[in-house]
Structure 1
Amino acid sequence: MLDPDRIRVVAPHFKRRLSGVTSTVVQLIPAQRRRGLGIATLGPGLPETMPALSFAQLPALWKKPKGAAHRVWHARRNVEMLAGIVLRDLLRMPLKLLFTSAAQRHHSRYTRWLISKMDAVVATSARSGSFLKVPHTVILHGIDTDLFHPPEGVDDTIAGTSLPGEHLIGCFGRVRHQKGTDLFVKAMIELLPRYPSWTAIVSGRVTAEHKGFADGLKADIARAGLSERIVFLGEVDDIKPWYRRLTLYVAPSRNEGFGLTPLEAMASETAVVASDAGAYREQIAEGMTGAVVAAGEYEPLRDAIEAYLADPGRAHLHAKAAVAHVRADFALAGEAAALEGVYSRLLGVPATSPQS
C-alpha cells in the first residue's frame, strides 16, 4: 500500500470504462514516477499494477505531504474537478486543483464554473486551449516510444497474420459514428477493388448502443463482396503489434478530444491519414509523415487514402519520417517533464530529477 505522506500529486480516475483519458493516465503516471515524482491514482477502471490510493486513505489527505504545504489534485473530467472542489473548499484539505482540458468545443456554463475554481489549467493542444476562458498552459500529450516502436520481425508484418494481401490499412478505436468508422469503410469499399494488394482491418469495441451501426457496416461490406478484405477484428488484447503490421493508419474521427492513435501509429513506423479533429493536425507533419483532411468530409479522406494505396513506397517513406518525428516532439518523457513544471509551480517546490 502506498504511503500518502509521500504522495504529492493525486490523479483521480472516476470512470470504469476505457477511454482516451484512461490511456493517458495508464501511460503517463508510470513515466512520472520514474522521474521520482510521488504521484498516485484514485478510483476504478485502471490496471491493478497502477500506483493507487484507496478511498479509505482519503482522510490522510488532510495531512500535508512530506516536503510540501499542499498536494496537487490533477483532474481530467468534470466529476473529478467537482470532487477536488469539495475536498479543498468544503473539507479544507490542503489541495491545489489542476485541470487538463482536451475538449475542442465551447464548454457548458457548469464546466466553465468548475474550471474557474481551478488553481491552474492545462490544455492538451492549442486548439483545445482556444476554447478556454482562463489562463492556461499548452502541453501536448506524448506516448511511450518503448511500447510503441517499429517492426522487429516477421510477426510485425502482414505475414504474421492470416489475412490476404501485401499491405494492411487499419482504423482503430471504438466503432461508432463519432469516430468516422463509416467513412473508413465506405472508402475501403470504393478503393480496395482497384488495389488488390491491400487489406483493411477495423479494431475496436462495439458497445450495445452502437451494435446496429456496426452491423450495418458489415452488411455493406458483405454486399460489396469484400468480407475477406475488410475485416472487423473486434477489441484485441494488445493493439501494439497491429500498428506495426500496418502500412497505413487512418483516423477519420468527426470529433475528438486529443486522440493518441495517430501518434501510436507513427511511433510504430506507420504513415497516417487523419481528419483535423482533436489535435491530429498538430501531431502530423503533413506531406512528411501523413496527410490531414477536413473532419467529416468523405471525398478528401478517400483521395488522401488513395494516394498511399497507389504508392506504397510513399507510405514507407513517410513511416520512416514519422518515427523520428514522434520521438523528437511527442515522447512521453517530455509530457511528464512539462507537467512536473506545472506541479512544481503550484506546490512551490523544485521539480524532481529523473531517476536512472
Structure 2
Amino acid sequence: MGPGPRAGARPRPGGWPGAEAGRGERVPRLRRVDCSGPGIARRRAGRGFVYLDENGKRIADPGVLDRIRALAIPPAWTDVWICPLPGGHIQATGTDARGRRQYRYHDIWRAHRDREKFDHMLEFARLLPDLRATCMHNLSQRGLTRDRVLSCAVRLLDLGFFRIGTEGYAEQNQTFGLATMRKRHVEVSRNVVTFDYKAKNGKRRIQSIVDPQVVSVVTALKRRTGGGHELLAYRRGRLWVDVRSADINAFIRELSGAELTAKDFRTWNATVLAAVALAVSERATSATGRTRAVARAMQEVAHYLGNTPAVSRSSYVDPRVVDRYRSGLTIAAALEGIGEDVEMGQPSTQGAIERAVLALLTDDDVELPVAA
C-alpha cells in the first residue's frame, strides 16, 4: 500500500499533508473538494468524448486529458463530474446504468482510508474475544428476546461471513443479506442451518452453519407464527419487532463499546483466511511463485466471501499479510496446533490462529516462522 498521512491524522487548512512518495519525490497535496460545485464536464463526440472546463470551453491540455484518461471513467456513466484540481480527494463522479452515484477517489486519499480501515481491524481483533463471549452468554438464555436474537445475528456474521444487507437493496433488487433474509431462505436439519438465497449481484449463495446455539434460535425463529416474512425478529411484550441492519450494527457497538460494524467481521475473517492460505502454500523460491501463491490465496478468500479475488484483495484482505509473506513471514508455526483451543462449532481459524495473525500485522515481539 502506498504511503499516505498517518492513520487518524486530520487535514490541515488547505489540504492533507503531503507524503513522501519514495526516493525523495513529493506526492501532491490533497484537498477536500465539493463535487456539487463547478468541475469538468464530459460530452460524447462521435465514438469518444470531449471534456469541457467550468466555462464550457473544450479542454486541450495534454496533461489534463492524461489525468482524465487515467481515471478510467466508464463510458456508460452519465452526468459525469471531473475535479478540476489534480489533488482533489474526489477525482470524478457519475451515475451508472442502474442509477447509482459512483465515485473515483484520488489514489493517495484511497490509500489513507485503507490504512485507517486496516488499523481499525487491529482494534476489532482485540475486542472480538469479549464480544464473542458476551454473545455466547446471551445465546444460552431462553426465549426470542432482543439480546438473544441480535447475538444470534452477530454469531452468524462471525461464522458465515454474511453481508449485512439493507432493506432498500432487498426491495429494489430482490437480493439479500443477513438482516433481510426471509424465513423461506433457511432450512434446519439436525445441527445444521443452511441458507440458500440470492446475494449481491444476483449470485446464488448456499451457506451451512454448524452451531448448536444458532440452530436453537434459528429453529424457533423459523417456526414462529407472528411477525413478518423476515427471519430475524424478537419479542417485545406481545409484539414482534423486525431486526434491521441498523439494529445489528447498533448492537455490535453497544456490546463492544467501539465503532465496530457488521462489515468488520468479513474484513477480519478475510484477512485471517488469507494468512492461513499463504502459510500452507507450497514453498515459493521466486517472485513469480509467490505471486501465484497470493493469487491462489485470494481465490480461496473469494470463495468464502462470495465475491471476486480482485475485490477480496482490494477491499477485504489487509495488505500487510501479503507484504509479510513476500518478506518471508507467515503464521505457519501457529498452524501446528490448529483447532486445539477452540470449542465445538467454532472455526479452527479462531483462537490461536487469530492471535498469530494479529501478531503478524502488528510486528509484536513474537517468534514468527520464515515462510517455507
TM-score range with shorter-chain normalisation?
0.3 to 0.5
Bigger Rg over Cα: 2
- TM-score, structure 2 length as denominator? 0.34
Q: Report 1 or 2 for greater relative contact order, CA contacts < 8 Å, sequence distance ≥ 6.
A: 1
